[in-house]
Amino acid sequence: METDLQEKPVGERRPLSTLRQNWKDAAWWKQVYIDRVLIHILRNNGVFIVREDWDNLVILDACRYDVFEELNTIEGKLESRTSRGTCTEEFLQENFVKFPQTNFSNIVYVTGNPYVSKLLRGKFHTIYPVWDYGWDESLKTVPPDPMVRETLRAAHENPGKRLIAHFMQPHEPFLETRLDDTGLRDLRRSAFEKEDKFKDVTIWDLIQRGELKVQQARDAYRRNLEIVLPYVDVLVGQLAGKTVITSDHGNLFGERPHLLYPFKEFGHPPRLHVRALHTVPWLIAERQLVT
């Protein structure tokens, strides 16, 4: 996984030299097609999350609406929303950089995803970087239990603030299906060192190299969601106010996601605003706390 949304679209800088370097790279051609063609057809009509009604927003990273609808065990009213991003970077930039409001001092952000700290330092009242001190080296990600603890601590320490808790699951790397080559180590390192570029091997890379079957990845993704849901359920039961469970974007498993997109796609490419990526769950799980 290598990306930098702050750069210009693919192919815009030194087009001839860029073409020479990348003309054999299928992923590069796909991104060129998205940035040069589809971006003018598939508009970003997503909602700004700060304008939505919530006191606590729980984000499950890369959670498809259809899979959530099928596997969800948390009580509440399930709706959907259109996200402003098809990857985490785009979601964060659209909601907190391009939004007319520039300071979000009424929001506390608890995050297992390093992108929040990489892109949004100084934007919120407080960021709790669980990706730093809640990291599990054996899993190469942040498991859900430290996210629950830190979110409850943040709620206690910041009464009256809107609260965002950004879990890494169901996004890979998967908690039960260990794939030694994959992980988020380089993304985490880049957040520490404040670097833009990084390169982590993803399960989608393994699939395209023929080292993993699509069904194995799909099953592991579903299991990752099943694992995180009980943790979120416990968290919701201890938070005051209106809690909404959602996602920053969806995920693709080798589908051809649109009639105008001639490729099968995996993961969540930036700016590819198709249903499977921009339609996310919006579960309203407001509860009356027992005192």
Half-sphere exposure of 68 (CA within 13 A, CB side): 32
Contact in structure between 124 and 105 (CB atoms under 8 Å)? yes
Among 118, 274, 241, 238, which Cα is nearest to 188's?
118
Q: Report the predicted TM-score, pTM, of the whole model to 2 decimal places.
A: 0.87
Note the pLDDT tens digit of each residue in 97-109.
999 888 899 999 9
pLDDT at position 1 over 50: no
User: What are phi and psi for residue 13, nearest 5 degrees?
Assistant: -105, 130
pLDDT at position 193 over 90: no
Q: Which two tokens stand for residue 186?
A: 């380089």
Model pLDDT, residue 126: 97
Q: Which two tokens stand for residue 61?
A: 């990273």
**How many Å apart are CA 190 and CA 2, to the nearest integer?**
11
Amino acid code (one letter) for 82: T
Model pLDDT, residue 2: 41
Contact in structure between 227 and 144 (CB atoms under 8 Å)? yes
User: What are phi and psi for residue 158, nearest 5 degrees?
Assistant: -135, 60
Q: How many CB atoms lie within 10 A of CB 34?
A: 22
**How many Å apart are CA 95 and CA 104, to the nearest integer?**
11
Note the pLDDT tens digit of each residue in 206-218.
887 888 899 999 9
| Rg of the chain, C-alpha, whole Å | 18
pLDDT at position 15 over 80: no
First-to-last alpha carbon distance for the chain, in angstroms, is 45
Note the pLDDT tens digit of each residue in 131-169.
999 999 888 899 999 999 999 999 999 999 999 999 999
Contact in structure between 287 and 77 (CB atoms under 8 Å)? no
Least confident range of 197-201, 233-237, 267-271, 276-280:
197-201
Question: CA-based angle 281:287:291, to the nearest 5?
Answer: 150
pLDDT at position 78 over 90: yes
The mean pLDDT of the chain is: 87
pLDDT at position 279 over 90: yes
- DSSP code of 39? G
Model pLDDT, residue 291: 47
**pLDDT: which is higher, 192 or 291:** 192
Note the pLDDT tens digit of each residue in 50-71.
999 999 999 999 999 999 999 9
Q: How many CB atoms lie within 10 A of CB 108?
A: 22
Model pLDDT, residue 246: 98
- Model confidence at 238, pLDDT cuts 50, 70, 90, reads very high
pLDDT above 70 covers a percentage of the chain that reads: 84
Q: Which two tokens stand for residue 74?
A: 């948390």
Q: How many CB atoms lie within 10 A of CB 242?
A: 14
Q: What is the mean pLDDT of residues 83-95?
A: 96
CA 16 to chain centre: 33
Model pLDDT, residue 100: 87
Q: Which two tokens stand for residue 145?
A: 């239990």
Domains of the chain: 7-36 (no CATH), 49-284 (3.40.720.10)
Q: Is the peptide bond before 173 cis (omega within 30 degrees of 0)?
A: yes
Half-sphere exposure of 1 (CA within 13 A, CB side): 26
